[in-house]
């Protein structure tokens, strides 16, 4: 029997640098790898969405739409894939449906093929319209299950959610494990359950981070259970808070009943390209190689460091254990949301508030909104007492409808506001940039003409750093002012490198 071919989504151009180096990689550091990526045989190339849009305009002075068009041009044979936060698009609030449609249309027009649509609370209503919009433009709508662990989250529940996504017309399903929590057995059980319930032809893609060191095994088990496509990153852009290495996946399957169609020669060239690029962004990398705390605390690493820095800012750095004990209570009161952006920040900050000020003495605005349904529904019931506190504090009523149903048509207003900005070029894509990042867009549009700014180090800077471990390199660059006592007389001398 010939082995079954497993599709692979390469994430080096999006999630890998988002996870490893705060989404800072400039397009110019990617273009030379595109031809090899395009020809390597991937099922898709994730290269847009997530935090890249924000980072492009906030840090890199890059037009994200130009980035997308460039990828389209350089990778004509590939399915381009993006991560889309459902009704939030790539921003941080819910958008009215017309805006969602416009965004999807423009993304498709500019070259996007596969839209991985997710919602942090796994609320299907927050994904439905985006998925419908994707289908309307004839592109691939992938419905997403965010994986988490809680007393309410069960294999059966995930299988049921898969059914809802398929009912909405999902062409494929993504099992998305942002926190590297997906252990091998549940990976197997969920994929197998989906296949047995909805048919072996149901396409299942599996996305794991590698933070806990165990998820390549989870991919193996998912494949044994029938997974069709898995996500990996080329080895030089892998591991730590990122993903499992693409070449390791290829090696993992050699000799088994499964194979990939990847071209190892091209993979190694892609690897060598990013091996040279990665050091440029070293200052954005975390030191985390493997983080096993989450197995006991079930608190993702990023959330923990966030809470620690909040506590330190309040001079209460020693109370982290209390906060860690508070998190599961707050999470339960909120109905067990998955702890991912933004719910991880919302729950974590409330846990810090509870410890510092007394339980629910003060709610953050976001936590109150979460308790009142303004982010959507979770699997669990929200604690009615805390809902009452939220009502009292905010003077808002809880809602049960889809949050976006509260919104008035807003496209015309967004066009009007965007039109007032310096540098606005009249395009719908500029309106979308303004819509999603109203505080960042004005500066970006005004300065767009200056062109991309690469925040990575240059080869010369890297060279200088390397040599700074030598005596010559340690010379003061200055200027630094010294008090110099010379012949008994004190002078002020300023030194800088000649």
Report the interface residues with a copy of itself, using CB under 8 A. Answer: 183-186, 212-214, 216-217, 220, 235, 238-240, 244-245, 247-252, 254-256, 264-265, 268, 271, 289-293, 295-296, 468, 471-472, 474-478, 480-487, 491-498
Q: How far is the CB of 478 from a copy of itself (least distance, A)?
A: 8
* CB of residue 469 to a copy of itself, shortest distance in Å: 9
3-state class (DSSP) for residue 419: helix
Q: How far is 261 from 34, CA to CA, in rounded Å?
A: 18
313 vs 476, beta carbon nearer a copy of itself: 476
Considering the complex, what minimum distance in angstroms separates the CB of residue 231 from a copy of itself? 15
496 and 477 Cβ atoms separated by less than 8 Å: yes
The residue (of 121 and 178) whose beta carbon lies closer to a copy of itself is 178
Q: What is the DSSP string of 420-453?
A: TSTT--S-HHHHHHHHH-TTTHHHHHHHGGG---
Write down the least CB distance from residue 386 to a copy of itself, Å: 31
Q: How many Å apart are CA 143 and CA 426, to the nearest integer? A: 33
Closer residue to a copy of itself in complex, CB, 3/409 = 3
C-alpha distance from residue 291 to each of 11, 12, 149, 209, 214 (Å): 21, 21, 17, 11, 10
Residue number, 217 or 372, with CB nearest to a copy of itself:
217
Identity of the residue, 251 or 357, whose beta carbon is nearer to a copy of itself in the bound complex: 251
Helices (H), 110-208: 125-136, 155-167, 184-198
Task: Give 339's Cβ-side CA count (13 Å radius).
Answer: 28
Minimum distance from residue 273 beta carbon to a copy of itself (Å): 14
352 half-sphere exposure, CB direction, 13 A CA radius: 24
CB of 224 to a copy of itself, least distance (A): 10
The torsion angles phi and psi of 108, rounded to 5 degrees, stand at: -65, -45
**Number of neighbouring beta carbons within 10 Å of residue 318:** 9
Residue 35 Cβ vs a copy of itself, minimum distance, rounded to whole Å = 20
Containing 483, the helix (H) or strand (E) segment is strand 480-486
Give the residue with the Cβ less far from a copy of itself, 4 or 136.
Answer: 4
Pick 284 or 295: Cβ nearer a copy of itself: 295
Q: Shortest approach of a copy of itself to residue 232 CB, angstroms? A: 10
Instruction: Please say whether the beta carbons of 193 and 222 come within 8 A.
Output: no
CA distance 145 to 143: 7
Of the pair 279, 443, the CB lying nearest a copy of itself is at: 279
């Amino acid at each position: 029997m010939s082995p079954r071919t497993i599709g692979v989504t390469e994430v080096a151009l999006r999630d890998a640098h988002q996870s490893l180096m705060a989404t800072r990689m400039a397009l110019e550091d990617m273009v030379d790898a595109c031809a090899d990526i395009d020809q390597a045989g991937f099922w898709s190339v994730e290269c847009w969405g997530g935090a890249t849009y924000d980072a492009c305009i906030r840090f890199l002075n890059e037009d994200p739409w130009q980035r997308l068009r460039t990828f389209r041009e350089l990778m004509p044979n590939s399915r381009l894939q993006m991560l889309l936060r459902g009704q939030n698009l790539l921003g941080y609030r819910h958008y009215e449906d017309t805006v969602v449609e416009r965004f999807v249309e423009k993304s498709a027009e500019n070259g996007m093929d596969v839209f991985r649509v997710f919602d942090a609370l796994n609320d299907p209503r927050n994904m439905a319209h985006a998925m419908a919009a994707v289908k309307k433009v004839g592109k691939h709508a992938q419905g997403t299950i965010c994986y988490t662990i809680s007393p309410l989250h069960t294999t059966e529940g995930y299988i049921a959610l898969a059914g809802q996504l398929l009912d909405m017309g999902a062409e494929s399903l993504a099992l998305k494990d942002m926190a590297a929590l997906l252990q091998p057995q549940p990976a197997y059980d969920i994929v197998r359950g989906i296949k047995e319930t909805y048919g072996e032809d149901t396409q299942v893609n599996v996305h794991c981070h590698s933070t806990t060191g165990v998820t390549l095994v989870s991919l193996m088990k998912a494949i044994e259970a029938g997974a069709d496509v898995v996500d990996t990153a080329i080895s030089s852009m892998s591991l730590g808070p990122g993903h499992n290495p693409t070449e390791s996946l290829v090696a993992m399957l050699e000799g088994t009943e499964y194979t990939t169609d990847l071209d190892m020669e091209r993979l190694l060239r892609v690897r060598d390209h990013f091996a040279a690029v990665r050091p440029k962004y070293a200052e954005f990398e975390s030191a985390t190689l493997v983080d096993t705390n989450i197995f006991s605390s079930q608190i993702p690493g990023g959330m923990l460091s966030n809470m620690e820095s909040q506590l330190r800012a309040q001079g209460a750095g020693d109370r982290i254990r209390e906060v860690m004990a508070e998190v599961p209570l707050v999470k339960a009161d909120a109905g067990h949301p998955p702890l991912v952006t933004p719910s991880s920040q919302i729950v974590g900050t409330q846990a810090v508030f509870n410890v510092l000020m007394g339980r629910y003495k003060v709610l953050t605005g976001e936590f109150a909104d979460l308790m009142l349904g303004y982010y959507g529904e979770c699997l669990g019931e929200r604690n009615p007492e805390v809902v009452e506190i939220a009502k009292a504090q905010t003077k808002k009523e809880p809602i049960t409808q889809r949050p976006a149903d509260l919104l008035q048509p807003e496209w015309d207003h967004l066009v009007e506001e965007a039109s007032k900005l310096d540098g606005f070029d009249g395009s719908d894509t500029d309106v979308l940039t303004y819509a999603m990042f109203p505080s960042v867009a004005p500066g970006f549009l005004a300065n767009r003409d200056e062109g991309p700014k690469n925040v990575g180090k240059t080869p010369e800077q890297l060279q200088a750093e390397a040599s700074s471990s030598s005596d010559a390199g340690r010379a003061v660059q200055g200027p630094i002012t010294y008090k110099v006592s010379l012949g008994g007389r004190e002078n002020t001398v300023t030194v800088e490198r000649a």
